[in-house]
């Protein structure tokens, strides 16, 4: 568990940094996929098995393919992965932010629970999501959001003639 | 067994890397990728809180499900906007898309 966590954490951070440092845009997209894979493993170490599967299917599968396809469609690979003028100030500001996040999360008091987690979470999640007093309203809102997204994408990319 | 702090530090690092990339980078697709990294970092924090503080209620995992749904919708619309921009102006460099710049 310990070894798995450290390997996955280092992999996630390094590949996320590689998305920024990598000059080749296509390789940056592949590093993003690697980062998503490592985060799916992190979910497994947190005993969130259903979320790991969701992460694999949606982020590693669908989102990665969308991004790689749009890189292909825009021929952006030829112009590389340029940085703007704000490089150093942005790095300094986010460094300070990261430092304060680390300090806060280490020094805060967390009311940890000692009970062991649910092992197959799928049935419990389904009960929470689809019960009448659960999150069923948000599920319906999510369906409307996805439908709006599909229609919006089609309208944006329709050829006007 | 790594504790809650380890996961929180990992999530904060991922969030800050994504934030730095979203500010620094010029290609619109890379900016969208960095926003995805930020959302992933937040997801790790949610699941870690759900695992270590409320292991039985699972509310944090429900939030993560909805974050993933909204992130998928956001990336689809974002890439559609980028492709429409590319069709109109032949570039997705955010420094050159300055129609609204004063």
Q: From chain B, pick out residues whose CB is under 8 angstroms from the CB of A5.
A: 2, 6
Map out the domains of chain B as residue ranges. 4-89
State yes or no: pLDDT of A81 exceeds 80. Answer: no
Q: Which of B1, B24, B55 to mutate to test the interface with A (most CBs of A within 10 A)?
A: B24
The pLDDT tens digits of the residues spanning A10-60 come to: 999 999 999 988 888 888 999 999 999 999 999 999 988 899 999 999 999
- The C-alpha of A133 sits at a distance from chain B's nearest C-alpha, in angstroms, of 14
Which value does ipTM take for this structure? Answer: 0.91
% of chain A surpassing 90 pLDDT: 47
State yes or no: pLDDT of A75 exceeds 80. Answer: no
Q: Which of A13, A82, A90 sits opposite B13 (nearest CB)?
A: A13
Q: Looking at residue A55, which CATH number applies to its domain?
A: 1.20.120.1200
Q: Which of A74, A94, A129 sits opposite B82 (nearest CB)?
A: A74
Out of A81, A100, A131, pick the residue that ends a domain.
A81
Mean pLDDT, chain A, rounded, equals: 88
pLDDT of res. A76: 66
Q: How many domains does chain A have?
A: 2
Which range of residues forms the domain containing residue A45? 1-81
- Contact flag B47-A87 (C-beta cutoff 8 Å): no
Highest mean pLDDT among A115-119, A151-155, B85-89: A151-155
pLDDT of res. A161: 63
Cβ-Cβ contacts under 8 Å between A and B: the total is: 223
Q: From chain A, pick out residues whose CB is under 8 angstroms from the CB of B95.
A: 84
Domain annotation covers residue A98: no
Q: What is the DSSP string of chain B?
A: ---HHHHHHHHHHHHHHHHHHHHHB-BHHHHHHHHHHHHHHHHHHHHHHHHHT-TTT-HHHHHHHHHHHHHHHHHHHHHHHHHHHHHHHS--BTTT--TT--
Q: In which residue ranges of chain B is pLDDT below 70? A: 102
The pLDDT tens digits of the residues spanning A85-101 come to: 778 888 899 999 999 99
Asked if A63 and A130 sit in the same domain, the reply is no
Arch. (CATH architecture) of B4-89: Orthogonal Bundle (1.10)
Domain annotation covers residue A94: no
Domain annotation covers residue A66: yes
Domain annotation covers residue A91: no
pLDDT of res. A25: 87
pLDDT of res. B1: 73
CA distance A121 to A50: 6
- Contact flag B62-A86 (C-beta cutoff 8 Å): no
- Contact flag B84-A157 (C-beta cutoff 8 Å): yes
pLDDT of res. B46: 93
Q: Which of B33, B35, B89, B98 to mutate to test the interface with A (most CBs of A within 10 A)?
A: B33
Asked if A75 and A126 sit in the same domain, the reply is no
Domain annotation covers residue A88: no
pLDDT confidence band for A77 (50 / 70 / 90): low
- The C-alpha of B8 sits at a distance from chain A's nearest C-alpha, in angstroms, of 6
Domain annotation covers residue A155: yes
State yes or no: pLDDT of A148 exceeds 70. Answer: yes
pTM comes to 0.90
Q: From chain B, pick out residues whose CB is under 8 angstroms from the CB of A59.
A: 36, 40, 68, 71
Q: From chain A, pick out residues whose CB is under 8 angstroms from the CB of B6.
A: 5, 9
Q: Residue B86 half-sphere exposure, CB side, CA atoms within 13 Å?
A: 19
Domain annotation covers residue A87: no
Domain annotation covers residue A71: yes
- Contact flag B72-A58 (C-beta cutoff 8 Å): yes
> In whole angstroms, how far apart are CA A15 and each of A61, A138, A155, B18, B39?
17, 33, 35, 11, 15
Q: Which of B1, B29, B55 sits opposite A115 (nearest CB)?
A: B55
């Amino acid at each position: 568990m310990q070894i798995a966590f450290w390997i996955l954490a280092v992999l996630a951070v390094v590949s996320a940094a590689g998305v920024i440092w990598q000059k080749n845009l296509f390789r940056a997209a592949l590093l993003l996929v690697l980062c998503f894979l490592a985060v799916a493993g992190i979910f497994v170490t947190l005993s969130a098995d259903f979320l790991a599967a969701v992460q694999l299917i949606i982020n590693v599968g669908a989102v990665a393919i969308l991004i790689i396809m749009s890189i292909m469609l825009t021929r952006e690979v030829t112009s590389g992965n340029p940085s703007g003028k704000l490089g150093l100030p942005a790095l300094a500001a986010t460094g300070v932010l990261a430092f304060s996040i680390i300090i806060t999360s280490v020094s805060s008091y967390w009311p940890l629970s000692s009970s062991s987690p649910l092992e197959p979470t799928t049935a419990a999640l389904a009960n929470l999501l689809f019960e009448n007093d659960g999150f069923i309203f948000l599920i319906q809102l999510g369906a409307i959001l996805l439908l709006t997204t599909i229609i919006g994408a089609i309208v944006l990319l329709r050829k006007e003639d | 067994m790594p504790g809650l702090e380890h996961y929180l530090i990992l999530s904060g690092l991922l969030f800050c890397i994504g934030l730095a990339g979203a500010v620094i980078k010029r290609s619109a697709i890379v900016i969208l990728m960095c926003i995805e990294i930020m959302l992933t970092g937040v997801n790790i924090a949610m699941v870690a809180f759900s695992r270590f503080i409320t292991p039985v209620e699972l509310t944090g995992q429900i939030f993560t499900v909805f974050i993933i749904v909204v992130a998928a919708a956001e990336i689809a619309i974002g890439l559609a906007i980028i492709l429409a921009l590319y069709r109109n102006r032949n570039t997705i460099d955010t420094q050159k898309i300055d129609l609204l710049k004063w």
